[in-house]
Amino acid sequence: NIVLNNNTNRLQFTTNNNNPSPSQNFPRPKIIKSNNRSLPCKNQWTSFWSPRYSDIIYIKIIEKSHFPSDVPKVYGEHHIPFRDPIPQDPSLTPHTMPNLLIPCPGCDLHDSFYIGDLRPRCIISLPSNNTISVHANIYRKNNNRQNNIFIVHKSHSETRADVFIDYNERTNPNFRQIENITQHSPLIYNISQKNF
């Protein structure tokens, strides 16, 4: 916000501490009612920030659970970015390139406690509130499901930034204050009293 300072008659930036954090505006997977069963899901995608990889992780939700005395969770198949080997327009930038995903062939993020469907090679489970919903559709279908390619509606860089901001707001309570200070504080110069 820009307001007029009554003492100096100059415009100044102000921050409102009552502003909701942007992460509250990020769409999250719908939480199911608490029960003793998990519910299967179709065509639902989510993403989260992995501090171990310092990168975004995409998952296609297989099922959701909300067992009594436990946090709501999502179980999903890990998907990784895919570079289409077919030459594309060289004028495309990273922001305008299609965000394509393929199923992960298996990695150390795999949660071995998942006992459902055996077809996915890499399953990840985590609390629903630690993820952001992503919109993706099938891009190229293949008879072998491991060769399916999906396209995310947002660019990889944009989704990565959203997920990173969400992660920082959840893990660092001062993140919003730091962000506001760096964006809205005037530059302060220390000028010595030397004669020029």
> 184 in helix, strand or coil?
helix
Reported as a pLDDT band with limits 50, 70 and 90, residue 30 is confident
Q: How much is the pLDDT for 179?
A: 54
- Supply 137's token pair: 């559709």
Q: Give me the mean pLDDT over the 73-102 stretch.
A: 83
Domain ranges of the chain: 20-182
Q: How much is the pLDDT for 131?
A: 92
Give residues with Cβ within 8 angstroms of 86, minimum separation 6: none
132 alpha-carbon distance from chain centroid:
5
Q: How many CB atoms lie within 10 A of CB 71?
A: 13
Across 17-26, 37-46, 139-148, the highest mean pLDDT is recorded for: 37-46
Q: How much is the pLDDT for 93?
A: 77
The strand pair at 39-40 and 45-50 is best described as unpaired
Q: How much is the pLDDT for 148?
A: 85
How far apart CA 46 and CA 135 sit, in angstroms, is 8
* pLDDT tens digits along 42-51: 889 999 999 9
Reported as a pLDDT band with limits 50, 70 and 90, residue 78 is very high
Reported as a pLDDT band with limits 50, 70 and 90, residue 61 is very high
Higher-confidence position of 75 and 140: 75
Q: Give me the mean pLDDT over the 119-123 stretch.
A: 82
Specify the residue for token string 């993403």: 47
The pLDDT of residue 67 is above 80 = yes
Q: Give me the mean pLDDT over the 121-133 stretch.
A: 89
The pLDDT of residue 134 is above 70 = yes
